[in-house]
């Protein structure tokens, strides 16, 4: 048959026509999966070395193939290869075709005991492993930035909020440490995910395994995999690992978007707690006074995009009969987009938080208003022997009086306090200061500046340990 026109396919024997141009255009994944060229080449070389070691192909043949693949890799990295979507269906067929051009017929031996089904799964797992390592490094660097800011502001008071209403005093350092905890969990999740990613599919071939004495453990070692996939059918049809990567990304985006939303609020004139560096803010084309927190807004917006990628992949895999189905080619666009987007957001929020200017005065002003120490007054009454519920009611009536007069808790005279409750003494005024409120929360995990400093030290030690696990 004539397969000389149109696509250069990896099949032909049973076909009487070559692939139609529009069918190739429809089915090619090359523009998306081309970025897997390195993983594809490295995976092929490991497979090839194993074939020779097991006597399945000759050593000289393997050497020729491996050298050809190395030369192709260099060509690609020197931009000497033109992507031809009118010729190649995917990165695997492109590289095999380039290998044929370079080393001739011996190239045909590379695909012995292998299918694109276990090949693509291997490539994507290698890519995910690298992506997770890179995200993990970014997560460490980001925590470092947050810890540096937290240390500067370990004792900077600000209102903590519930329902976006001023609730109780906290320190800005304590607030930032909440995010450090989130990103530390994201780090742990990315490492747990990596363990499930790092399993070798090669050897599964199309779906049933291969009738050759393959040394799968050897290939796994060569490629840095921790284990070989236990079931050939699962090996070629599993994309759980990619879904898990997007799940890791999605939670990172949940956390980044919450921080972004706070930065957006805090940088408004109404809050005035922070100011973004000019390099990470934008202006308005019409309103000359504007300084907009676009970096944070885009991060918040991109969270939805990453969740969409996760849902796309879940929906893609749901209901697919075993084993490989071409549907699965659609996995890469969502996977790459989700990881790229998360990495970009981590990078920009890193820069935003590193260059953020904090208006300590505005934070302190905000915490002085809004009765943020009302709970402390109730706790004071508890120490004087009142049941908490009764104390709550007493303080509620004091707040009511303050609201009517337009004053704060500290502006009520001792005589008036004693009218409300005769157990109140002159020491009440110490109990309702912001500093007193903060210092009183002197338990592990609490916002007392002393505890915040201890928490920073603990988080730093954990970060060092996490970093050393990456090396
Ligand atoms: N481009 C395909 C993918 O990404 C590679 C595997 C193709 N296998 C096949 N039998 N058509 O899923």
- Per-residue pLDDT of 382-418, as tens digits, reads 999 999 999 999 999 999 999 999 999 999 999 999 9
pLDDT of residue 405: 93
pTM equals 0.94
| 148 CA from centroid of ligand 1 (Å) | 47
- Residue 163 falls in the annotated catalytic set: yes
pLDDT number for residue 103: 98
Instruction: Count the Cβ atoms, other than its own, within 10 Å of residue 322.
Output: 11
How far does the centroid of ligand 1 lie from the alpha carbon of residue 196, in Å?
22
Measured CA angle at 28 (ends 196, 336), to 5 deg: 35
Taking the C-alpha atoms of residue 426 and residue 440, their distance in angstroms, rounded to an integer, is: 18
Give the distance (Å) from ligand 1 centre to CA of residue 201.
14
Question: Can 350 be counted among the known catalytic residues?
Answer: no
pLDDT at 33 over 80: yes
pLDDT surpasses 70 at 211: yes
Confidence of residue 289 (pLDDT cuts 50, 70, 90): confident
Q: Over 90: is that where the pLDDT of 48 sits?
A: yes
Measuring from atom 3 of ligand 1, which residue has the nearest CA?
Answer: 329
> Which residue's CA lies nearest to atom 11 of ligand 1?
326
Residue 282's beta-bridge partner residues?
292
How far is the centre of ligand 1, averaged over its atoms, from the C-alpha of 333 (Å)? 14
* CA-closest candidate to residue 374, choices 354, 347, 404, 394: 394
Q: Which residue, 385, 421, 383, 387, is CA-closest to 401?
A: 421
Bigger pLDDT: 247 vs 14: 247
Q: Which residues contact 357 (CB under 8 A, 6 or more apart)?
A: 274, 275, 276, 277
pLDDT tens for residues 98-113? Answer: 999 999 999 999 999 9
The owner of tokens 């299918």 is: 115
Averaged pLDDT score across all residues of the chain: 95
Over range 453-461, report the average pLDDT.
98
| pLDDT above 90 for 152 | yes
Q: Tell me: pLDDT of 4 over 80.
A: no
Confidence bin at 1 (pLDDT 50/70/90): very low
Strand partners, 160: 168
d(CA 128, CA 135): 10
Probe ligand 1: pick from 116, 204, 239, max atoms within 8 Å of CB? 116
Position 76 scores a pLDDT of: 97
User: Which of 117, 207, 327 to mutate for ligand 1's pocket (most ligand atoms within 8 Å of CB)?
Assistant: 117
Q: Which of 10, 31, 120 best tests ligand 1's pocket when mutated (most atoms within 8 Å of CB)?
A: 120
Mean of the pLDDT values across residues 72-93? Answer: 92
The answer to whether residues 207 and 324 touch, using CB atoms and an 8 Å cutoff, is yes
Share of the chain above pLDDT 90, in %: 90
Any idea which residue has 């540096």 for tokens? 148
Residue pair 410/373 in contact by the 8 Å Cβ criterion: no
Q: How far is the CA of 329 from the centre of ligand 1 (A)?
A: 6
Atom 12, ligand 1: residue with shortest CA distance: 329
- Residues in contact with 156: Cβ distance below 8 Å, sequence separation at least 6, in sequence order: 171, 172, 173, 358, 360, 363, 364
Q: How confident is the model at residue 317 (pLDDT cuts 50, 70, 90)?
A: very high
Q: In sequence order, what E strands does 110-241 have?
A: 157-162, 165-171, 199-200, 227-228
Cα separation values, 371 from 168, 242, 317, 408, 428, Å:
8, 49, 53, 7, 14
**Of residues 4, 163, 285, 413, which has the active-site annotation?**
163
Cα 263-272-175 angle, rounded to 5 deg: 45
Task: Give the integer Cα–Cα distance in Å for 399 and 435.
Answer: 20
CA 391 to chain CA centroid, nearest Å: 45
Residue 2 has pLDDT above 50, yes or no: no
Sign of CA dihedral 441, 446, 452, 457: positive
**227-228 and 199-200 strand pairing:** parallel
Residue 344 pLDDT more than 90? yes
Token pair of 69 as six digits: 């693949």
- ∠296-189-449 over CA atoms, to 5°? 60
The secondary structure element, H or E, covering residue 358 is strand 357-358
At residue 437, does pLDDT exceed 90? Answer: yes
Q: Which atom of ligand 1 is nearest to the CA of 29?
A: 1
Kindly state the average pLDDT of the residues 312-334: 98
d(CA 426, CA 422): 11
Residue with tokens 């320190």: 171
Q: Looking at 27, 268, 284, 397, which residue is catalytic? A: 284
Cis previous bond, 323, omega within 30: yes
Identify the helix (H) or strand (E) that includes residue 357.
strand 357-358
Residue 7: predicted pLDDT: 61
Q: How far is the CA of 116 from the centre of ligand 1 (A)?
A: 6
Q: What is the pLDDT of residue 12?
A: 73
Output the ligand 1 site: residues, CB below 6 A.
Answer: 29, 33, 90, 92, 116-117, 120, 324, 326, 328-329
Expressed in angstroms and rounded, the spacing between residue 356 Cα and the centre of ligand 1 is 46
User: pLDDT category, 287, cuts 50, 70, 90?
Assistant: confident
Between residues 16 and 425, the one the model is more confident about: 425
Written as one string, the DSSP assignment of 433-460 is SHHHHHHH--STTS--HHHHHHHHHHHH
Residue having the nearest C-alpha atom to atom 2 of ligand 1 = 329
| % of residues, the chain, pLDDT over 70 | 98
State mean pLDDT over 291-299: 96
* Test site for ligand 1: of 326, 330, 331, 336, most ligand atoms within 8 A of the Cβ: 326
Residue 206 CA, closest ligand 1 atom number: 10
Atom of ligand 1 nearest to the CA of 328: 12
* Predicted confidence (pLDDT) at residue 453 exceeds the cutoff of 60: yes
Q: What is the pLDDT of residue 8?
A: 64
């Amino acid at each position: 048959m004539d397969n000389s026109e149109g696509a250069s396919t990896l099949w032909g024997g049973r076909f009487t026509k070559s692939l139609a141009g529009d069918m190739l255009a429809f089915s090619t994944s090359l523009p998306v999966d081309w970025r897997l060229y390195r993983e594809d080449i490295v995976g092929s070389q490991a497979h090839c070395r194993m074939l020779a070691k097991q006597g399945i192909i000759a050593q000289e043949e393997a050497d020729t193939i491996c050298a050809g693949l190395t030369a192709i890799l260099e060509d690609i990295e020197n931009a000497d290869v033109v992507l031809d979507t009118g010729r190649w269906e995917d990165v695997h067929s492109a590289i095999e075709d380039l290998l044929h051009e370079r080393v001739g017929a011996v190239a045909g031996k590379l695909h012995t005991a292998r299918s694109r089904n276990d090949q693509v799964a291997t490539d994507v797992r290698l890519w995910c492993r690298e992506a997770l390592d890179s995200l993990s490094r970014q997560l460490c660097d980001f925590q470092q930035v947050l810890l540096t800011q937290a240390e500067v502001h370990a004792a900077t008071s600000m209102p903590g909020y519930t329902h976006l209403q001023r609730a109780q005093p906290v320190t800005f350092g304590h607030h930032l440490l909440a995010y450090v905890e989130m990103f530390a969990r994201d780090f742990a999740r990315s490492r747990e995910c990596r363990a499930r990613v790092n399993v070798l599919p090669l050897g599964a071939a199309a779906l049933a395994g291969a009738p050759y004495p393959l040394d799968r453990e050897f290939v796994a070692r060569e490629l840095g995999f921790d284990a070989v996939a236990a079931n050939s059918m699962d090996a070629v049809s599993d994309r759980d690992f990619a879904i898990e990567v997007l799940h890791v990304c999605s939670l990172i985006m949940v956390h980044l978007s919450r921080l972004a939303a706070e930065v957006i609020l805090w940088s408004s004139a109404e809050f005035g707690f922070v100011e973004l560096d000019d390099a990470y803010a934008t202006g308005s084309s019409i309103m000359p006074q504007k300084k907009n927190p676009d970096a944070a807004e885009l991060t918040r917006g991109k969270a939805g995009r990453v969740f969409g990628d996760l849902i796309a992949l879940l929906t893609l895999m749901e209901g697919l009969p075993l084993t490989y189905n071409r549907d699965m080619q659609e996995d890469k666009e969502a996977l790459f987009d989700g990881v790229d987007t998360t990495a970009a957001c981590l990078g920009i929020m890193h820069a935003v938080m590193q260059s953020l200017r904090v208006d300590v005065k505005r934070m302190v002003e905000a915490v002085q208003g809004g009765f943020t120490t009302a709970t402390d007054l109730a706790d004071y009454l508890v120490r004087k022997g009142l049941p908490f519920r009764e104390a709550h009611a007493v303080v509620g009536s004091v707040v009511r009086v303050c609201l009517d007069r337009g004053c704060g808790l500290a502006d009520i005279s001792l005589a008036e306090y004693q009218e409300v409750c005769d157990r109140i003494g002159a020491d009440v005024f110490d109990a309702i200061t912001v500093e007193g409120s903060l210092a009183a929360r002197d338990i592990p995990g609490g916002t007392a500046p002393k505890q915040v400093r201890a928490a920073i030290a603990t988080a730093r030690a954990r970060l060092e340990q996490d970093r050393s696990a990456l090396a």
